């Protein structure tokens, strides 16, 4: 038996909806992971910025909401 559980996250429809504190915690955890992975916090988004992205995605896309960035001359 472990001291924690993993439950499904219900995406709240607004910042005042039930589940908002859980969504905030997940968004902050996401930012920690992104910062570690990319070595910068520059790409982090606030929970308020992430909410519309997570509400307007398919189930498969919810795992990794990401802004598209073009980098380098190869994209010309």
- 10-26 tens-digit pLDDT: 899 999 999 999 999 99
Q: How far apart are CA 66 and CA 44, in angstroms?
A: 10
- 54-64 tens-digit pLDDT: 888 655 555 55
Q: Where are the domains of the chain?
A: 12-59
DSSP string, 42-75: TT---HHHHHHHHHTS-HHHHT--------SGGG
Which pair of tokens denotes residue 59?
């189930």
H/E element, 21: helix 20-38
* pLDDT surpasses 60 at 35: yes
Q: Where are the beta strands (DSSP E) in 16-76?
A: none
Taking the whole predicted model, whether its pTM rises above 0.75 is answered as no
Give the per-residue pLDDT at 57.
63
**Residue of 22 and 4 predicted with greater confidence:** 22
């Amino acid at each position: 038996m472990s001291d924690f559980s993993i439950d499904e996250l219900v995406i709240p429809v607004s910042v005042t909806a039930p589940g908002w504190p859980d969504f905030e915690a997940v968004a902050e955890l996401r930012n920690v992971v992104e910062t570690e992975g990319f070595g910068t916090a520059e790409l982090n988004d606030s929970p308020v910025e992430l909410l519309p992205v997570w509400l307007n995605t398919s189930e498969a896309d919810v795992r990794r909401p990401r802004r598209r960035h073009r980098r380098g001359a190869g994209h010309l």
